[in-house]
Amino acid sequence: MNRVRLFASLIALATLAGCSSGGDAPAGPSSGGAVEVTGFRFQPEEVAVAVGGSVTWTNTDDILHTITGGEPGVADPASMDGTLDGPSSTYTATFAVAGTYRYFCARHESMRGSVIAS
């Protein structure tokens, strides 16, 4: 009998959790975000934050990466300019003005991402 109640409770809890998540609705901007730099990629590639919010990049690769504002060939160092010199190193940027901020790794230009501040 206890197993039946436990099973029923777990199903009910899972159902409620699914309903409260809002389904597939996109998440709105938050006051902060996190990006993992791993396997020569930014994960996630796009982050939404509220104006005034910050994003922190954490390098889990064993090599140096950069967070360089702009796009390859059109760098914008005024928006972001961070170096992640190895595992567990971090860089944080705050976005005071609404807009889309594109960035890339200057050492590995195929690594690209963006922050949307709204």
Summarize pLDDT for 9-66 with one digit per residue, the tens.
333 333 333 433 344 444 556 678 999 999 999 999 999 999 999 999 999 999 999 9
C-alpha span between 29 and 117 (Å, rounded) = 7
Higher pLDDT, 111 or 84: 111
**pTM value?**
0.71
Question: In the numeric block, which tokens belong to residue 80?
Answer: 């972001």
Q: What is the pLDDT of residues 51-85, one digit of tens each?
A: 999 999 999 999 999 999 998 888 676 677 888 88
Q: Which residues make Cβ contacts (< 8 Å) with residue 36, sequence separation at least 6?
A: 42, 43, 57, 58, 60
| Strand 65-71 with 41-43, pairing | unpaired
Domain range annotation of the chain? 29-117
Position 92 confidence tier, pLDDT thresholds 50, 70, 90: very high
Question: In the numeric block, which tokens belong to residue 75?
Answer: 């760098």
The CATH number that domain 29-117 falls under is 2.60.40.420
